[in-house]
Structure 1
Amino acid sequence: MSSHHIVRDDQEPALIIANGAACSSELLDQLLEWSPLVIVLDSAVERVFELGIKIDVLLGDFDRGFDANYYKEKQYPLEVVHTPDQSKTDLEKAFDYLFERNIPAVNVIWATGKRTDHTITNLTNIVRYREKLKIVILDDHSKVFLLPKRFEKWYPSKTPISLIPIGHVTGIHSENLFYPLENDYLTIGYRTGSSNHVINDGIVIIEHSEGDLLMMECMD
């Protein structure tokens, strides 16, 4: 059974496994190695157990006759968290659980692909947790996270980058991107910053004044 690296004092991000399209074993193993806490949403638990992954928390609304005790017997110790609130998705409830435990950061996999409505919801709902958690959603083709008002990071040249607004974003400024933005704006459904790329090896700077802006580091 695959285990995961235990890091003291929650120094590394937790890992949430949702129930979208599976990622590669390479990405999964890399994240498991450094995750102090692995949470699985109830709809994905059978798929996860089939891979022999050791998990820490099973979370969900447990509908459709779900028997949590069955999974406790299959793997010990296992914390089972029943979250029946239907006004939030199970992924949002997992974010709430981490915030209540004072865990500041989380990586999320299996949150894209399969159903498009779930993918859109999972990607856009992270804006609600801007002040609570640092959230990164990953799959084999992209890494998605919410940008702070000023962002700086080193990238190799030609790295594909997309900037996707959630609603309307203003006062955008960029440096070292092929399609520059200078006191610009982006609006979902009308004008987005997809399919940009880094010009030169070095620091990319992205700033914005108002709104919520997603960064997508893409891997073609």
Structure 2
Amino acid sequence: MSSHHIVRDKQEPALLIANGESCDPELLGQLLEWNPFVVVLDNAIRRVLDLGIKVDVLLGDFDQPHDFDLIRQRQYPIEIIHTPDQNKTDLDKGIEFLIGRGFPAVNIVWATGRRADHAITNMTDVVRYRDRIRIVLLDDHSKIIPLGKTFEKWYTRGTPISLIPVGTVDGLETEGLKYNLRNESLTLGYRTGSSNEAAEDGFVKIRYRTGDLLLMECWD
């Protein structure tokens, strides 16, 4: 499995591989076809090397030892970046690296599953970057998107859509959902917009006034 697409002035999203539960190889292969720049976070490199994926950047705090000479032999050329700041997660550092390199978007895999504390942190921390880079977290059952204040996308009828606030979201309005919201508030732990769906084939529109909001397309 490898990424062999040609980067065209960073028009395509980068692919960021974290260290949670692995996704289906077919999903990973599809992403590699259209996400030719690959960043791997710290200890995930061990699993990635076994898959034969071409890696462009290895990034992390490297709190566990790595054989960097072996990694360079198997992944030449590769950029290895030490990011020791313990006040940020490796996922934060990876996203900020891609922002600094000028990428407009990133798809993230292996960021959920395994440790619950890592999964919930990864899913919620991404909202801080919503206005700086387009982010999609993917696994075998979900697609998670931090939304800006307005969002519009075409969906087929019955597509499962959940709106999950990170904290409190106010002034939420939707169009095109089976259960639309009209200037309403959602608060994590008290009221969310889980398990809604697209009412018909067509555009779903979402806007809100304040807060941070995740859209989740989830399937069983």
Q: What residue in structure 2 maps to residue 179 of structure 1?
A: 179
Aligned residues: 220
Give the C-alpha shift of residue 179 in structure 1: 1.5
Q: What residue in structure 1 maps to residue 151 of structure 2?
A: 151
Q: 2: CA distance between counterparts of 1:174 and 1:130?
A: 19
Q: 2: CA distance between counterparts of 1:100 and 1:156?
A: 36
Q: What residue in structure 2 maps to residue 133 of structure 1?
A: 133
Q: What residue in structure 1 maps to residue 203 of structure 2?
A: 203
Q: Secondary structure at the match of 1:39?
A: strand
Give the C-alpha shift of residue 70 in structure 1: 2.3
Q: 1: CA distance between counterparts of 2:29 and 2:2?
A: 9
Q: 2: CA distance between counterparts of 1:42 and 1:211?
A: 31
Q: What residue in structure 1 maps to residue 115 of structure 2?
A: 115
Give the C-alpha shift of residue 149 in structure 1: 1.3
- In the TM superposition, what whole-angstrom CA distance separates every residue of 1:116-175 from its partner, at most 9, and x where no partner exists? 100100010011112321111001111101112111111011100000001110111111
Q: 2: CA distance between counterparts of 1:70 and 1:85?
A: 25
Q: 2: CA distance between counterparts of 1:68 and 1:83?
A: 15
| Structure 1 moving runs of 4+ over 3 Å | none
Give the C-alpha shift of residue 6 in structure 1: 1.7
Q: How much identity, in percent, do the aligned residues show?
A: 61
Q: CA RMSD in A?
A: 1.1
Q: Residue 7 of structure 1 contacts residue 34 of structure 1 at CA under 8 Å; is this kept in 2?
A: no
Q: Which moved more, 1:156-165 or 1:68-77?
A: 68-77
Q: Which moved more, 1:62-71 or 1:180-189?
A: 62-71
Q: Secondary structure at the match of 2:87?
A: coil
Q: Secondary structure at the match of 2:211?
A: strand
Give the C-alpha shift of residue 30 in structure 1: 0.6
Q: What residue in structure 2 maps to residue 93 of structure 1?
A: 93
Q: 1: CA distance between counterparts of 2:70 and 2:7?
A: 28
The unaligned stretches of length 5 or more in structure 1 are none
Q: 1: CA distance between counterparts of 2:215 and 2:12?
A: 21
TM-score (normalizing by structure 2): 0.97
Q: 1: CA distance between counterparts of 2:18 and 2:4?
A: 17
